[in-house]
Amino acid sequence: MKNLVLTGFMGTGKSEVGRILSEKLLYTLIDSDSMIEKEQNMSITDIFRLHGEEAFRDIESDVISRLSKLENVVISTGGGAVLRESNLDTLREKGLIVCLTAEAETIFKRVENNQDRPLLQVDNPLQKIRELLLIREPYYKNADIIINTEGKSPEDIAFEILREVKQNEFSQNPI
């Protein structure tokens, strides 16, 4: 089976769902943000603060292009990774792109007490979430599988993804 690549806005549950999927599939879980922090020896917040978003996106693209070459992995990407089309193109070579979605209010509730998302450290984070969702919607729609996470547990979401993946694989290679 192909790699699974989790995309979607901050707070849609990519990390937790990724963990469950990797356990079920016996795949290695790789989180691109954690890899960036490890390689740069710096938090995402500090990378944004010291070098800015564009520099972060360059680092992110470099990490993603290396991760794309691996096999039997679940890759959890940062919420803005979809913004560069080349990221999804390379990830798709060996992977199925899954996008997790949620309403702005739900995302807000999940991230409001969290300080490690530099893009949301503004006076009105809910409005910022709405703005970013609007800009990013067309990019998230490029995924192969889109899963609405509203009202679902991470286990339910993982189960739904695996069901969709099987259907997707069957439609690509019918017997």
Site residues for ligand S3P per CB under 6 A: 10, 14, 33, 44, 78-80, 117-119
Q: How far is the CB of 54 from ligand S3P (least distance, A)?
A: 12
Residue 46 CA, chain-centre distance (Å), reads 20
Task: Using alpha carbons, select from 36, 109, 110 the residue that is nearest to residue 78.
Answer: 36
> How far is Cα 168 from Cα 56, in angstroms, rounded to an integer?
33
The smaller minimum CB distance to ligand S3P, of residues 37 and 168, is found at: 37
For ligand S3P, which residue has the nearest CB?
78
Exposure string of 104-116, with b = 16+ CB inside 10 Å and e = fewer, is bebbbeebeeeee
Q: What 8-state DSSP symbol labels residue 124? A: -
The smaller minimum CB distance to ligand S3P, of residues 43 and 168, is found at: 43
Q: How far is the CB of 146 from ligand S3P (least distance, A)?
A: 16
The smaller minimum CB distance to ligand S3P, of residues 81 and 165, is found at: 81
